């Protein structure tokens, strides 16, 4: 082959390439062609929803899509309280709850949503073969846990469709927060015929899904875009103002999302610490909400770990100043410095839990800390202040936090911190294995009840990574789990929280606040800690 021939091939190659480009260009209609008439909210997601199978979804992106396209027996109302969903009313007792389904609840193919769609969905999520990671959230239903362990057949589940519009649920033990759970994705209905038809590919694209919520997913290009449109069969469609929820961008890059908002390509934007000052310079109207997550330092109580010593923990608690920590490390205005385990956004009996059961303020006192340390050293027979292992992730904030704590404990107590920095999954592996003295961790709520936090430190909870066990604590939680009486439940959980602050298995650091902004045309956007966030169901679009 001669050189001119090679060049000839190259020319052909270029021609073909250009043709492909042209074809590509013709094949795709430009984004946003129908925004002229329809009321559209446009967003960017950081990652695409990994799993839109309601029975198996675990992450906030999937919950966002599912929360708009599906509806449970109850739903989260505007104020965050439970509102009627597919069920128009119910009767709740110690033994269980009977749901009465509304006649006009429909799937996106026009068929009615019936009681057995819920029974099927719940059994499926509990089926060991499904291996749903959120199956535990169904455990308040009678026999659910045993079914999930494969010890009982699916038919033994305490949820029975009496007829198409009556669903009878029996509790394993009284569950005072059950009506909050039925708004959660794992409790959404699923149509059996659809799962049988689509098998392994159920919910992998819009064609293999059916929707009973305010919107239906119409397009989903993996990794690239998705679009939800008004569901004409939704029973409450007259109260939904938004026609289209368009997600033409999926990128984890915060700056890219910032630029998209700046060029008015998207309507809602979350702001991290770096972009906050840019947003202020652009005069964006900043808003905030708490996403519900509580952060804390968790101590290791396994044998051979000095942190099992109460005086040592008290010493660290005494020198730790949550206000200073928040302003220096978190740096997001509006962040609530950590005081207790149960965050400020949760409700108690009639109002905020924190107001009904106030905490005793902890004094930041270095002299006191030194006394506790001296007592600890005596008990542990140490000659000098100990050296402890601090397990953390490799994010910039985590690094800053580790350096801050290293410096704080060194200068006040003379305690040396050895920082063990790991990538996310390896930190988890080490945390589970108990390979640390102190680990910086957080917990996001699964449902809007203090139980989602206090349950964490019971002896039977696998997420109790420090393995702190306390009989009194367990008892208070058992008492709270044994009744639907709100007053008793909240009282017991408040007592449990007091034990945490006395025994210090953790030091609460902060309750996360998210700063965000949205375009002026959006009115009534709801942000929430539990369930679909942001919630566009009640949004009104100004023209």
Partner 1 sequence: MFSYAMKRILIGLMTVYAIATITFFAMHAVPGDPLMRAKVVNEVVRQNLETKYGLNQPLFVQYVTFLTNMLKGDFGISFTQQNRSVNDIIREHFPVSALLGLVAIITAALGGIVGGAVAAIRRNQWPDRTIMSLVILFVSVPSFVFAAFAQVGLAEIKKKFGVEILPVAGWGTLAHLILPGLILGLGTMAFLARLMRSSMLEVVHQDYIRTAKAKGVAPIKIFIRHQLRNAVLPVITFLGPAVAAITTGGFVAEIVFAIPGLGRYFVQAVQQLDYTVIMGLTVFYGTYLVIVVIIVDIIYGFIDPRIRIAGA
219 near partner 1, rule: CB under 8 A: no
């942190």: which residue's tokens? Answer: 307
Residue from 39, 102, 116, 265 in contact with partner 1 (CB under 8 A) = 265
| Subset of 75-114 contacting partner 1 (CB under 8 A) | none
The least CB distance from residue 122 to partner 1, in Å, is 15
- Residue 4 makes contact with partner 1 by CB under 8 A: yes
- Residue 122 binds to partner 1 (criterion: CB under 8 A): no
User: Is 12 one of the binding residues for partner 1 (CB under 8 A)?
Assistant: no
Are 470 and 464 a contacting pair, CB within 8 Å? no
CA angle (96, 99, 102) in 5-degree steps: 175
Comparing CB distances to partner 1, the nearer of 50 and 524 is 50
Which pairs with CB-CB distance under 8 Å and at least 24 residues apart come from 395-404?
A: 397/273, 397/329, 397/330, 398/440, 400/329, 401/329, 401/440, 402/440, 404/325, 404/328, 404/329
Give CA–CA dist 400/390, Å, rounded. Answer: 13
In angstroms, what is the minimal distance from the CB of 50 to partner 1?
Answer: 5
Interacting residue with partner 1 among 463, 502, 524, 540 (CB under 8 A): 463
Instruction: Work out which of 40, 41, 43, 44 binds partner 1, going by CB under 8 A.
Output: 44
Residue nearer to partner 1 on the CB measure, 136 or 469: 136
Edge-to-edge strand ranges of the sheet holding 225-230: 40-45, 244-250, 225-230, 215-221
Query: Rounded to the nearest 10 degrees, how much is the dihedral formed by the CA atoms of 448, 451, 453, 454?
Result: 160
Shortest distance, position 11 Cβ to partner 1, whole Å: 12
Residue 58 near partner 1 by CB under 8 A: yes
What span, in angstroms and rounded, lies between the C-alpha atoms of 45 and 325?
30
Q: Is 414 in the site for partner 1 (CB under 8 A)?
A: no
Look up residue 186 and give its DSSP letter. Answer: G
First-residue to last-residue Cα distance in the chain: 66
Ramachandran area for residue 390 (φ above 0: left; ψ -120 to 50: alpha; else beta): beta
Q: For residues 406 and 320, what is the distance between their CA atoms, to the nearest angstrom?
A: 12
**Does 136 sit near partner 1 (CB under 8 A)?**
yes
Alpha carbons 74 and 188: distance in angstroms, whole number: 9
How far apart are the C-alpha atoms of 541 and 39, rounded to whole Å? Answer: 7
21 binds partner 1 (CB under 8 A): yes
425 binds partner 1 (CB under 8 A): yes
> Does 129 help bind partner 1 (rule: CB under 8 A)?
yes
User: By CB under 8 A, is residue 253 in contact with partner 1?
Assistant: yes
> Token pair for residue 407?
């410096």
Which CB, 150 or 333, lies closer to partner 1?
A: 150
Total residues binding partner 1 (CB under 8 A): 68
Shortest Cβ distance from residue 494 to partner 1 (Å)?
24
Query: Minimum distance between the CB of residue 429 and partner 1, rounded to whole angstroms?
Result: 4
Q: Is the peptide bond before 256 cis (omega within 30 degrees of 0)?
A: no
Mark the segment that binds partner 1 (CB under 8 A) among 177-185, 255-263, 369-377, 512-520: 255-263
User: Looking at beta carbons only, is 3 or 361 nearer to partner 1?
Assistant: 3
Q: Is 135 in the site for partner 1 (CB under 8 A)?
A: yes
Name the segment binding partner 1 (CB under 8 A); options: 129-137, 178-186, 300-308, 495-503.
Answer: 129-137
Q: For partner 1, which is the closer residue by CB, 455 or 492?
A: 455
Between CA 510 and CA 340 the distance in angstroms is: 9
Cα 452 to Cα 458: distance, rounded to the nearest angstrom: 11
Q: Applying CB under 8 A, does 380 fall inside the site for partner 1? A: no
Region class of 223: left (phi > 0), else alpha (psi between -120 and 50), else beta? left
* Helix (H/G/I), strand (E/B), else coil: 512: strand
Residue 468 binds partner 1 (CB under 8 A): no
* Residue 19 interacting with partner 1 (CB under 8 A): no
Ramachandran angles phi, psi of 334, nearest 5°:
95, -5
Q: Which stretch binds partner 1 (CB under 8 A): 236-244, 259-267, 408-416, 498-506?
A: 259-267
Contact between 33 and partner 1 by CB under 8 A: the answer reads no
CB 53 within 8 A of CB 59: no
Does residue number 255 form part of the binding site for partner 1 (CB under 8 A)? Answer: yes
Per-residue contact track with partner 1, 172 to 211, x per CB under 8 A? ----------------------------xxxxx-------
Using the minimum distance from each CB to partner 1, give the nearer residue, 3 or 367.
Answer: 3
> Would you say 133 or 365 has its CB closer to partner 1?
133
d(CA 237, CA 220): 23
Per CB under 8 A, residues contacting partner 1 are: 1, 3-4, 6-7, 10, 14, 17-18, 20-21, 24-25, 28-31, 44, 47, 50-51, 53, 56, 58, 128-133, 135-136, 148-150, 200-204, 221-225, 248-253, 255-256, 259-260, 262-263, 265, 423-426, 428-430, 432, 462-463
């Amino acid at each position: 082959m001669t050189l001119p021939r090679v060049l000839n091939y190259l020319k052909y190659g270029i021609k073909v390439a250009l043709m492909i480009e042209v074809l590509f260009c013709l094949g795709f209609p430009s984004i946003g062609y129908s925004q002229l008439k329809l009321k559209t909210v446009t967003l960017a997601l950081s990652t695409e929803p990994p799993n839109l199978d309601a029975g198996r979804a675990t992450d906030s992106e999937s919950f966002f899509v599912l929360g708009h396209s599906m509806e449970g027996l109850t739903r989260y109302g505007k104020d965050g309280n439970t509102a009627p969903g597919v069920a128009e009313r119910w009767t709740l007792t110690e033994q269980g709850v009977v749901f009465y389904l509304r006649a006009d609840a429909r799937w996106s193919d026009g068929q009615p949503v019936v009681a057995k769609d819920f029974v099927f969905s719940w059994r499926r999520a509990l089926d060991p073969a499904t291996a749903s990671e959120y199956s535990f959230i169904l455990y308040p239903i009678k026999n659910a846990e045993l079914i999930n362990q494969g010890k009982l057949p699916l038919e033994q589940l305490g949820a029975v469709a009496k007829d198409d519009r009556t669903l009878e649920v029996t509790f394993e033990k009284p569950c005072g927060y059950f009506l909050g759970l039925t708004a959660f994705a794992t409790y959404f209905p699923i149509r059996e015929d659809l799962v049988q038809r689509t098998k392994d590919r159920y919910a992998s694209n819009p064609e293999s899904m059916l929707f009973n919520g305010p919107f239906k997913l119409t397009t989903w290009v993996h990794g690239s875009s998705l679009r939800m449109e008004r569901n004409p069969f939704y029973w409450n469609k007259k109260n939904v103002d938004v026609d289209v929820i368009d997600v033409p961008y999926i990128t984890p890059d915060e700056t890219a999302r910032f630029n998209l908002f700046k060029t008015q390509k998207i309507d809602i934007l979350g702001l991290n610490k770096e972009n906050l000052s840019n947003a202020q310079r652009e005069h964006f109207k900043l808003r905030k909400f708490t996403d519900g997550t509580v952060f804390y330092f968790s101590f290791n109580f396994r044998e051979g770990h000095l942190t099992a010593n109460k005086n040592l923990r008290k010493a660290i608690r005494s020198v730790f100043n949550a206000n200073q920590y928040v302003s220096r490390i978190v740096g997001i205005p509006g962040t609530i410095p950590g005081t207790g385990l149960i965050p400020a956004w949760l409700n108690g009996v009639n109002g905020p839990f924190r107001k009904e059961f106030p905490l005793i303020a902890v004094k930041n006192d270095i002299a006191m800390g030194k006394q506790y340390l001296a007592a600890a050293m005596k008990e542990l027979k140490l000659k000098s202040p100990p050296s402890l292992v601090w397990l953390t992730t490799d994010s910039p904030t985590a690094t800053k936090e580790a350096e801050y704590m290293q410096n704080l404990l060194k200068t006040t107590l003379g305690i040396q911190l050895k920082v063990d920095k790991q990538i996310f999954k390896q930190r988890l592996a080490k945390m589970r294995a108990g390979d640390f003295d102190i680990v910086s961790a957080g917990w996001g709520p699964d449902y809007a009840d203090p139980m989602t936090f206090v349950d964490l430190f019971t002896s039977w909870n696998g997420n109790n990574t420090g393995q702190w066990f306390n009989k009194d604590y367990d008892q208070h939680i058992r008492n709270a789990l044994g009744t639907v009486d709100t007053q008793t439940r909240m009282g017991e959980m408040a007592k449990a929280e007091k034990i945490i602050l006395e025994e210090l298995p953790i030091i609460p650091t902060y309750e996360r606040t998210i700063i965000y902004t949205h375009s002026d045309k959006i009115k009534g956007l709801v942000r929430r800690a539990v369930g679909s966030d942001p919630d566009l169901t009640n949004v009104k679009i100004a023209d």
